Amino acid sequence: MFCYNCGCQLSEHDYCTACGADVSLYKKIMHVSNMFYNEGLEKAGVRDLSGAINSLRQSLKFNKNNIEARNLLGLVYFEMGEAVAALSEWVISKNIRPEKNVADDYIGMIQSNASRLDAINQTIKKYNYAYTYCVQGSKDLAVIQLKKVLALNPKFIRAHLLLALLYMDGEHWEQAGKEIQKCLRIDRNNTQSLRYMKEVEHMLSSDEGDRPSSKRKKDETMRYQSDNEIIIQPLNVKENKGGGFSTILNILIGLVIGAAAMYFLAVPAVQKDAQIKIQEETVKWGNQLDVKTSELKNLENQIAALKNSNSELNQQLTGITGENGTMSVIDRLLKAAAIYMETENLEQTAEALESIEQDMNVESASEEFQNLYHLLRNTVGPKIAGDYREKGYTYYRNEDFEAAIEFLKKAVYYDSSNANSLLDLGNAYRKNGDSDEAIATYDQVIEQFPDTEYARRAQQFKKELETEE
Amino acid sequence: MINFEEELKKFHPSLEVEDAEEAIYNQDLTDMADLLVKMIKESGVDVNGQ
């Protein structure tokens, strides 16, 4: 302690031993300043920063040169996030005592780190923006800004308190309480924090008890914050602890719903696919059926053609092997030849040849057949022709003209070169009243035997017939 | 019940770093000791006790 007058160090006396000035009151003032400093130090030690500030300011009011009190005050300000206030105290402290002053270190710590200084400045600016938003009524923007401030400087008590106030105004009591708790962790006896906390606790307790039923119904939730998440849990929800039966029932209901969904959604599509496939199969089989039908028709036509061919072949076969077939006729021809060769019976041979000629067209037979037939006929013919002529003439004379015609025809057949037979035949026709045949026969005579007596007589008979008609 | 407007009045903008110098200059550092010395001088008492 130094004398206020001369600056000499004071003794235990109430006067200055150098200049004699009365220093009793002065000493008391110094003592009071020191007392407040001690009090502030004690409060700072238990984190009663607000109380420490009050005590230290009191100390400085009594003695502005109390360097320790001023330095401590700067520290307390810095701990509360009031960096500019802290710097102010340290600068003043350094001006009062330039040498051997810890304030020099504090100032150097801040100013040496440019990014930290800039962060401090940004924090203050954002806080001021937030305050401006609050005054203007833009509370949401203020909240956003304050969150940014507190991200930069988590110990900024005024920002915490302003944010808590905004939460309280928005009735977000839980969040307000959280902010106030942070303040109280930094400054244990902050009056404003304690008052806000009292209000928050009051509102939270009243919310649990006296909320009206309608509002309870609306707000029946519990909110709490877990780290950075706000969890809202409904209160009236009971967890299903029944287990077994309800689970099985739920599974059954789910199966029923799934089956219904399958039935209404999947089955129609499957059915449609099946129908499409069926239609395709139907078309395919229809096409195959058409092909088979056409093949069937072709086959039927072939069958009809084959049947016709078969019937024709059968007819041919019958013609060959039948009763009057070729084989049979050949047999008869061979038989006729055998009769003649064995018995030389002219009549039987002639009859056989006649029957053959009646049943078939000899000219359509094979060459060998015709040769044999004509051979037999030429062999037998002339011989039998004479017999037939004699018989026929006999019947003519007996006026049995029909029989005469029969035998004379055979005679002409076997020997067409016999004019007598031909003429007699014509006469038999004439006598029998068959004029047309008679005329035809007479024409044959005239044609075959021209310039002969036979031709003349035939001509004469013919005229007579024509005259009669 | 806390009134937001009334409480807001208790808050003030914070001094920025650029404003610190002016704030320091404007700060009144008069203390009790200064008042005492002034009073003594005004009273005209001889500092030597006379």
Over residues A251-287, the pLDDT tens digits come to 999 999 999 998 888 888 888 999 999 999 999 999 9
Over residues A169-205, the pLDDT tens digits come to 999 999 999 999 999 999 999 999 999 999 999 998 9
- Span A290-296, average pLDDT: 92
Q: What three-state secondary structure class fits B13?
A: coil
What secondary structure letter does DSSP report for A187? Answer: S
Please indicate, yes or no, if residue B33 is contained in any of the structural domains.
yes
pLDDT at residue A267 in the model: 86
Residues 6+ apart with CB under 8 A from B37: A4, A5
When pLDDT is cut at 50, 70 and 90, the band that residue A358 belongs to is confident
Q: Round to whole Å and give the CA distance between A91 and A107.
A: 8
Please indicate, yes or no, if residue B23 is contained in any of the structural domains.
yes
Asked if B11's CB is within 8 angstroms of A161's CB, the reply is: yes
Please indicate, yes or no, if residue B7 is contained in any of the structural domains.
no
Tally the domains of chain B: 1
pLDDT at residue A138 in the model: 92
The partner residue sitting opposite A84, judged by closest CB among B7, B17, B27, is B17
The CB-side HSE value for B36 (13 A sphere, CA atoms) comes to 21
- Percent with pLDDT over 90 in chain A: 54
The one-letter code for the residue type at A270 is V
Please indicate, yes or no, if residue B21 is contained in any of the structural domains.
yes
Per the document, the length of chain A is 469
When pLDDT is cut at 50, 70 and 90, the band that residue A220 belongs to is low
Q: Round to whole Å and give the CA distance between A176 and A166.
A: 8
**CA distance, residue A210 to nearest chain B CA (Å):** 16
Asked if B24's CB is within 8 angstroms of A91's CB, the reply is: yes
Please indicate, yes or no, if residue B50 is contained in any of the structural domains.
no
Asked if A131's CB is within 8 angstroms of B11's CB, the reply is: yes
In A, minimum Cα distance to B18 occurs at: A121
Residues 6+ apart with CB under 8 A from A67: A93, A96, A97, A101, A103
Q: Round to whole Å and give the CA distance between A336 and A330.
A: 10
Tell me the average confidence (pLDDT) per consecutive run of 10 residues in chain B, 50 residues long. 86 85 83 85 63
Over residues A39-95, the pLDDT tens digits come to 999 999 999 999 999 999 999 999 999 999 999 999 999 999 998 999 999 999 999
Asked if B15's CB is within 8 angstroms of A62's CB, the reply is: no
Q: What is the DSSP string of A106-172?
A: HHHHHHH-HHHHHHHHHHHHHHHHHHHHHHHT-HHHHHHHHHHHHHH-TT-HHHHHHHHHHHHHTT-
Q: Which residues from B are below 8 Å from A when comparing CB atoms?
A: 1-2, 4, 7-8, 10-17, 19-20, 23-24, 27, 29-34, 36-37, 40, 45, 47-49
Please indicate, yes or no, if residue B37 is contained in any of the structural domains.
yes
More confident residue, A215 or A37: A37
CB contacts of A196 in chain B (<8 Å) are 2
Q: Round to whole Å and give the CA distance between A346 and A353.
A: 10
CA distances from A311 to A265, A267, B8, B16 (A): 67, 62, 130, 132
pLDDT at residue B33 in the model: 84
Over residues A95-124, the pLDDT tens digits come to 999 999 999 999 998 888 888 888 888 999
Asked if B48's CB is within 8 angstroms of A63's CB, the reply is: no
Domain boundaries, position B39: 14-43
CA distances from A122 to A134, A148, A162, A182, A388 (A): 18, 10, 17, 21, 166
What ipTM score was computed for the predicted complex, to two decimals?
Answer: 0.84
Q: Which of residues 76 through 105 in chain A touch B, CB cutoff 8 A? A: 82-85, 87-88, 91-92
pLDDT at residue A214 in the model: 46
Whether A232 shows a pLDDT value over 60: the answer reads yes
CB-based contact A79:B48 (threshold 8 Å)? no
**CA distance, residue B33 to nearest chain A CA (Å):** 6
The one-letter code for the residue type at A70 is R
A5 touches chain B (CB under 8 A): yes
